[in-house]
């Protein structure tokens, strides 16, 4: 009995001092304390509403990083290119991709949707010159794939000061531009969203057009395709796209009143600290590190007064 008591006392004495400290505030608590100025409203010209039978997916484009692709996607959307197309593949722990089913290897090329006035090829926008005028919130924990990582305008970004280049990172929820083998074949007519662990090997090799702000469950919870790379074997398995619209082309009363937490705000810094050093009764040991894909800019809908 005395021996057991001695062991128990020794274990208690060895417990980290933080176990007795007040638990770290939760993300919900930190966001509840945020100030209105810490939130930004995405420009309607940069918001896409993709309507699926199951609901709506809201995507924010990233024109400061991939301006040519953003412009081409706007043209495709305004000319109703995506209407009636489909989600063509869902690869487990990788991506959900949508576009023209007839663009697949076995598709009927005579039935391809016309690109209209959009460009069929674009210069690859895999990275851009570092722009010191853009907001930059560095993450100082280090990274395997980039000399520096951080956040800009709500997007995860990698940087290489030696080359003077920066690029968007393939974290969960990021929207990339599918392409063929040639680098310039990614026009934005086929897009994908990351639904698994961050496939960072894609960084520098494909352009990233933006990020899903709402509706990720509609993309990540779909049945996986049985074909290699997750392509569906039967047309009936594909999820049809009812429409894709720019928020700028939708009446203001029908837009989603959405806001994104600024990644250069005090509240986002507090969220980073809570992720890195947080502890509570369930997680008594802080990790002490944070991966760039381990946190994302929170999104909220603003309640509007009834008319």
Quickly list DSSP for 162-191.
TTTEEEE---TTEEEE---SSGGG--SSSE
Q: Using alpha carbons, list the distances in angstroms from residue 190 to 7, 175, 187, 279.
A: 62, 10, 8, 42
- Give the C-alpha separation, 270 to 293, whole Å: 16
- Which conformational region is residue 157 in: left (phi greater than 0), alpha (psi within -120 to 50 degrees), or beta? beta
pTM of the model: 0.91
Q: Tell me, what's the pLDDT at 139?
A: 97
User: Rg of the chain's alpha carbons, rounded to an integer?
Assistant: 22
Q: Tell me, what's the pLDDT at 95?
A: 98
- Give the C-alpha separation, 199 to 68, whole Å: 23
Other Cβ atoms less than 10 A from the Cβ of 177: the count is 25
In 3D, which of 73, 17, 38, 55 has the Cα closest to residue 210? 73
Q: Tell me, what's the pLDDT at 109?
A: 74
Q: Tell me, what's the pLDDT at 174?
A: 98
What are 49's strand-pairing partners?
58, 245
In the chain, which stretches have pLDDT less than 70? 1-21, 105, 107, 304-307
SS3 148: strand
- Give the C-alpha separation, 250 to 81, whole Å: 17
Q: Tell me, what's the pLDDT at 170?
A: 98
Tokens linked to 103: 């663009």
In 3D, which of 186, 188, 189 has the Cα closest to residue 124? 186
- Give the C-alpha separation, 123 to 185, whole Å: 8
User: pLDDT tens digit string along 72-103?
Assistant: 999 999 999 999 999 999 999 999 999 999 88
């Amino acid at each position: 009995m005395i021996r057991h008591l001695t062991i128990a006392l020794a274990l208690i004495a060895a417990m980290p001092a933080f176990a007795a400290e007040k638990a770290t505030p939760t993300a919900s608590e930190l966001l509840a304390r945020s100030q209105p100025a810490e939130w930004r409203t995405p420009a309607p010209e940069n918001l896409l509403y993709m309507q699926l039978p199951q609901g709506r997916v809201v995507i924010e484009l990233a024109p400061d990083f991939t301006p040519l692709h953003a412009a081409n996607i706007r043209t495709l959307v305004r000319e109703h290119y995506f209407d009636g197309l489909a989600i063509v593949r869902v690869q487990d722990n990788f991506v959900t991709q949508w576009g023209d089913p007839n663009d697949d290897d076995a598709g009927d090329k005579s039935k391809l949707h016309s690109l209209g006035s959009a460009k069929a090829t674009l210069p690859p926008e895999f990275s851009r010159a570092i722009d010191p005028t853009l907001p930059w919130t560095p993450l100082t924990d280090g990274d395997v794939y980039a000399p520096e990582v951080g956040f800009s305008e709500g997007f995860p970004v990698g940087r290489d000061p030696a080359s003077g280049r920066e690029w968007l990172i393939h974290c969960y929820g990021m929207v990339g531009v599918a392409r063929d083998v040639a680098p310039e074949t990614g026009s934005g007519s086929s897009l994908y969203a990351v639904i698994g662990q961050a496939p960072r090997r894609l960084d520098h090799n494909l352009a990233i057009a933006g990020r899903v702000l709402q509706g990720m469950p509609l993309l990540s919870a779909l049945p996986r395709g049985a074909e290699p790379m997750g392509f569906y074997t039967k047309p009936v398995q594909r999820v049809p796209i009812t429409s894709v619209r720019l928020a700028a082309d939708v009446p203001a009363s029908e837009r989603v009143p959405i806001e994104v937490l600024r990644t250069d705000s005090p509240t986002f810094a507090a969220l980073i600290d809570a992720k890195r050093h947080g502890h509570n009764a369930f997680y008594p040991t802080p990790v002490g590190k944070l991966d760039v894909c381990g946190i994302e800019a929170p999104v909220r809908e603003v309640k509007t007064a009834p008319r």
